[in-house]
Chain A
Amino acid sequence: MSDVPFDRIVRTYGEALSRVAWGYVDGAADHDDLMQDILVAIWQALPRFRGDSSERTFVFRIAHNRGCSFITRRRHDEPLNANTPIADPRPGPDDILDDAGRREQLARAVRTLPEAQRQAVLLRLEGFSLGEIAALQATSEANVSVRLTRGRDRLRELLGGSGRGRGSDA
């Protein structure tokens, strides 16, 4: 297979894929491993791409599937209960409130969301429309809307309720 389509995909979506990877892992080493895992999976799947969905949907589906697999495999030594401690994403009094710090808080908060909500929220943050998210998740727009609302409520709670959004509902 020629490397040209693959290289183009990495150049087009690589930046967004890198952000999506931060929605699943929190360490630089894990992030690098997951990125490689995603890119190898895209390269392997590329010959099967027939244009049934958009290229963006194809690429992001692979990223999310590999992200979920990655964290499932990484946790294989942890006990099978929901009490595993996770880093508290709420900002502390000493946290720097620049963009990088707030982005890290946001990423940490996103990582606490259940899988389907997390996927919907990550896609929303990447600028996907409700219809596109529904197509990617193979579900209805109403279902996506519920996931986004629950995800937003959780993020708001974890991020300390910025209270920025007083606009209309979508």
Chain B
Amino acid sequence: MTRGEWVEWERLWQSDRTSEEHLEALIERTRRARRSLWLLRLLSTAVAVVALAVVAAALRHAGNPFEVTLGVVVGIGIVAVWLMDLANQRHAAAKVEAPADEYVAMRRALCVRQVRFAQLAWMVTALDLAFLIPWWIGGFKVHGGGFHAMQLLTMWGPLTLMGAFVWWTIRLRRRARAELARLTSSQ
């Protein structure tokens, strides 16, 4: 390689300086981002707990062994989805310091896991709806329709959470598939 050319480019490149204030601002910004990460994890746990609580409340009103079995399966499904999400979060932070080939292999595996996660999440949501809809219909007969506290807590709230969750998984799956396609095409 030609030394003079590199020396000149190196000088030019390294003449881009960052002030100490900017570095301190970066440290502070990263602290905030880390706090946001913790909050997101807490939120994911809270959503799982709420979903389990709603299923548990519906199980108390289960009328036959089939409904009990369905409720238990849904509960197990919710825990499985939650654990899979935690595992994916851990996986996403792994091997980031590895050589590029190893890192790309990890990203590819993560994308596949995210696609599977979204599919499992949709199945569990569908089962959850199949289990909860009869309970909600029964609730309408006993407590009446509308938006009173009981309905908000047991129906509209969980429905909104489910909608938001499904929307999030659709986006996650779309991004994972797009990244997978990019990684495959750049091989």
The answer, among A39, A99, A119, A152, for a CB contact under 8 Å with B5, is A152
Contacts of B103 in A (CB 8 A): 65, 68
Pick from A107, A165, A169 the residue with the most CB of B within 10 Å.
Answer: A165
Contacts of A65 in B (CB 8 A): 96-98, 100, 103
Shortest Cβ distance from A74 into chain B, in angstroms?
10
Query: Which residues 55-82 of A sit at the B interface, judged by CB distance below 8 A?
Result: 58, 61-62, 64-66, 68-69, 72-73, 75-77, 80
B61 within 8 A of A: no
Size of A's binding interface in residues, CB under 8 A = 64
**Pairwise interchain contact B185-A169, C-beta atoms closer than 8 A:** no
**Pairwise interchain contact B100-A152, C-beta atoms closer than 8 A:** no
A62 to B30 CA separation, bound complex (whole angstroms): 15
A6 to B30 CA separation, bound complex (whole angstroms): 10
Contacts of A96 in B (CB 8 A): none
Contacts of A115 in B (CB 8 A): 100, 186
The answer, among A40, A64, A76, for a CB contact under 8 Å with B100, is A64
A156 to B103 CA separation, bound complex (whole angstroms): 31
Contacts of B29 in A (CB 8 A): 32, 36, 39
B142 within 8 A of A: no
Report 21 cross-chain contacts, Cβ distance below 8 Å, ordered by A residue: A36-B29, A39-B27, A44-B96, A58-B97, A61-B98, A65-B98, A72-B179, A76-B174, A80-B182, A80-B185, A99-B12, A103-B15, A106-B13, A115-B186, A136-B99, A152-B6, A156-B5, A165-B3, A166-B2, A167-B5, A170-B3
| The 4 A-B residue pairs with the shortest CB-CB distance in the complex, in nearest-first order | A165-B5, A165-B2, A138-B99, A76-B178
A72-B186, A80-B182, A170-B1 are known; give 18 further A-B pairs, CB within 8 A. A10-B23, A14-B18, A18-B16, A19-B14, A32-B29, A36-B26, A36-B30, A65-B97, A65-B103, A68-B103, A115-B100, A136-B99, A148-B1, A152-B5, A152-B6, A156-B5, A165-B2, A165-B8
